């Protein structure tokens, strides 16, 4: 699996976990906040209002990569961040406002 494929797979797995962990109403509210509320512009995501989204990203990373993230690895951290950005853009509400 290429790095780009890893990022996409982690983003998709993370987004699916968000759908599983949140009720449909919570997921819709989270997405709406991310799309409409300037409080959630940039690197802040409303998913944290409903659960520990870092745990979901950790699980998605582990499931796709077959291991835990190495927090000291610039490459692992970059994949994590890119997957989060992609999930936010495609599935959890745009981070672009204005």
- Each residue of 26-37: b (16+ CB within 10 Å) or e? bbeebbebbeee
What is the pTM assigned to this prediction?
0.91
Distance CA 59, CA 77 (A): 14
Per-chain mean pLDDT for the chain? 92
Name the least confident of 6-15, 40-49, 55-64. Answer: 40-49
For residue range 46-80, list pLDDT tens digits in order. Answer: 999 999 999 999 999 999 999 999 999 999 999 99
Domain ranges of the chain: 3-92
């Amino acid at each position: 699996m290429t790095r780009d494929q890893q990022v996409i797979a982690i983003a998709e797995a993370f987004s699916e976990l968000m759908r599983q962990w949140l009720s449909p109403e919570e997921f819709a509210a989270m997405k709406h906040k991310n799309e409409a509320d300037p409080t959630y512009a940039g690197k802040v995501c409303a998913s944290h209002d409903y659960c520990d989204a870092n745990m979901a990203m950790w699980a998605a990373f582990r499931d796709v990569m077959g291991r835990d993230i190495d927090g000291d690895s610039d490459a692992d951290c970059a994949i994590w961040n890119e997957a989060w950005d992609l999930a936010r853009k495609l599935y959890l509400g745009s981070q672009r406002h204005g």
